[in-house]
């Protein structure tokens, strides 16, 4: 019953850790008052990677530490037994693990770099794939005949992702083949030495079998330790994306609102809302899509804005220029009175 109990406790710890990680991530994201980060593809890619820092993905640095400890104890025991038979071979087997460790960590580093580098393509591929399950999208796809276009886009992004995976898989296959060759060479040299030592009488015949078993067991334990360390490094990389998002400060200062006097509350909306000289851009490195725009929304009326994507006419851009959610420069008049964007919130409108 002990193995089953351990498996249950490990799964339960992963579930609790998953809840903790998701709670901290959602709390941090909901703390952001602005929208500019959600219009930044780089932030969205990092956020997507941060959501993968779940309990199961972080297992190598939580419950996986017990696996590392168990494999390390096994490795030390087998190396000690091997050193009794041949200190030289024990040293050779231990040294052979260094290239394996370096290569495995390098592969995991390349894998995380590939995932981060292809995050945009993965995000687009998932978006195009979701078009076949979204009811509203299905209507528009059939209305405008976009099925073939979206399929080509999806397969284009999928080809980019798979090309990166294929390059990494080839490198991994080559690396693993070289490491297997090195391991076989060390085992072969050790077995030849053991046979010659037995023929010369320097090693009992029964110790040849013990020597071969010790070498095989030591190499197996070394491989397990290397795998544990590499998986722990990958988990730490995902945890780093989680920490990067949760440690971000609020992207906007708190509203500055007077606590006393007539300016403490906004006047009732009677004449309407007027925007003068509105400037907006999606990021510091992007050009301004709104330049000196004037807009009047009379009280009791609705205004529709029509234009191309990315030109700043969508509701989030215009509305965000009111409660200072985005990086907008404007003069805002409510019922004829000038107010500062930092004193306006969505609830007051």
Domain boundaries defined on the chain: 2-246, 262-348
- Mean pLDDT (the chain, rounded): 78
Q: Average pLDDT for residues 268-272, to the nearest whole number? A: 71
Q: What is the pLDDT of residues 297-343, one digit of tens each?
A: 787 787 777 766 655 555 445 555 554 434 445 555 554 555 544 44
With cut-offs at 50, 70 and 90, classify the pLDDT of residue 289.
confident
Q: Average pLDDT for residues 209-231, to the nearest whole number? A: 82
Q: In this prediction, what percent of the chain has a pLDDT beyond 90?
A: 8
Q: What is the pLDDT of residues 130-176, one digit of tens each?
A: 888 888 888 888 888 888 888 899 899 989 989 988 998 999 899 88
Tell me yes or no: is domain 262-348 CATH 3.60.15.10: no
Q: Average pLDDT for residues 182-198, to the nearest whole number? A: 83
Q: 165: helix, coil or strand? A: helix
The domain 2-246 belongs to what CATH superfamily? ABC transporter type 1, transmembrane domain (1.20.1560.10)
Q: In this prediction, what percent of the chain has a pLDDT beyond 70?
A: 82
pTM: 0.64
Q: Token pair for residue 324?
A: 């200072």
Cα-Cα-Cα-Cα torsion 32, 36, 42, 43, nearest 10 degrees, comes to 10
Question: For residues 349 and 265, what is the distance between their CA atoms, to the nearest angstrom?
Answer: 11
On whether the CB atoms of residues 85 and 211 are closer than 8 A, the answer is: yes
Query: Would 2-246 and 262-348 be classified into the same CATH topology?
Result: no
Say what the pLDDT of residue 322 is: 52
Q: Average pLDDT for residues 292-300, to the nearest whole number? A: 79
Tell me the Ramachandran region of residue 200: left when phi exceeds 0, alpha when psi lies from -120 to 50, beta otherwise: alpha
Cα-Cα-Cα-Cα torsion 93, 98, 101, 102, nearest 10 degrees, comes to -150
Say what the pLDDT of residue 268 is: 66
């Amino acid at each position: 019953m002990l193995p089953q109990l351990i498996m249950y406790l490990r799964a339960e710890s992963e579930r609790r850790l998953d809840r903790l990680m998701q709670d901290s991530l959602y709390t941090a994201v909901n703390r952001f008052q602005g929208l500019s980060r959600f219009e930044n593809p780089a932030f969205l890619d990092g956020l997507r990677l941060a959501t993968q820092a779940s309990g199961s993905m972080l297992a190598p640095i939580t419950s996986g530490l017990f696996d590392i400890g168990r494999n390390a104890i096994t490795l030390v025991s087998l190396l000690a037994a091997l050193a009794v038979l041949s200190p030289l071979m024990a040293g050779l087997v231990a040294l052979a693990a260094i290239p394996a460790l370096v290569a495995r960590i390098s592969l995991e580093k390349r894998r995380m770099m590939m995932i981060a580098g292809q995050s945009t393509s993965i995000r687009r591929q998932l978006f195009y794939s979701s078009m076949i399950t979204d009811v509203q999208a299905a209507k528009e796809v059939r209305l405008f005949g976009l099925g073939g276009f979206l399929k080509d886009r999806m397969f284009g992004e999928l080809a980019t992702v798979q090309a990166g995976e294929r390059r990494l898989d080839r490198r991994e296959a080559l690396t693993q083949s070289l490491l297997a060759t090195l391991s076989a060479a060390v085992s072969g040299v050790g077995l030849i030495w053991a046979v010659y030592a037995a023929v010369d009488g320097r090693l009992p015949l029964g110790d040849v079998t013990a020597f071969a078993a010790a070498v095989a067991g030591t190499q197996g334990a070394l491989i397990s330790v290397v795998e544990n360390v590499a998986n722990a490094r990958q988990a730490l990389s995902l945890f780093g994306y989680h920490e990067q998002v949760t440690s971000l400060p609020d992207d906007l200062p708190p509203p500055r609102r007077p606590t006393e006097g007539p300016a403490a509350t906004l006047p009732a909306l009677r004449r309407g809302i007027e925007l003068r000289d509105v400037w907006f851009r999606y990021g510091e490195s992007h050009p301004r899509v709104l330049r000196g725009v004037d807009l009047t929304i009379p009280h009791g009326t609705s205004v529709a804005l029509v234009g191309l994507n990315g030109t700043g006419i969508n509701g989030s851009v215009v509305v965000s220029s009111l409660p200072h959610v985005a990086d907008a420069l404007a003069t805002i008049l409510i019922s004829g009175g000038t107010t500062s964007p930092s004193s306006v919130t969505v609830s007051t409108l």
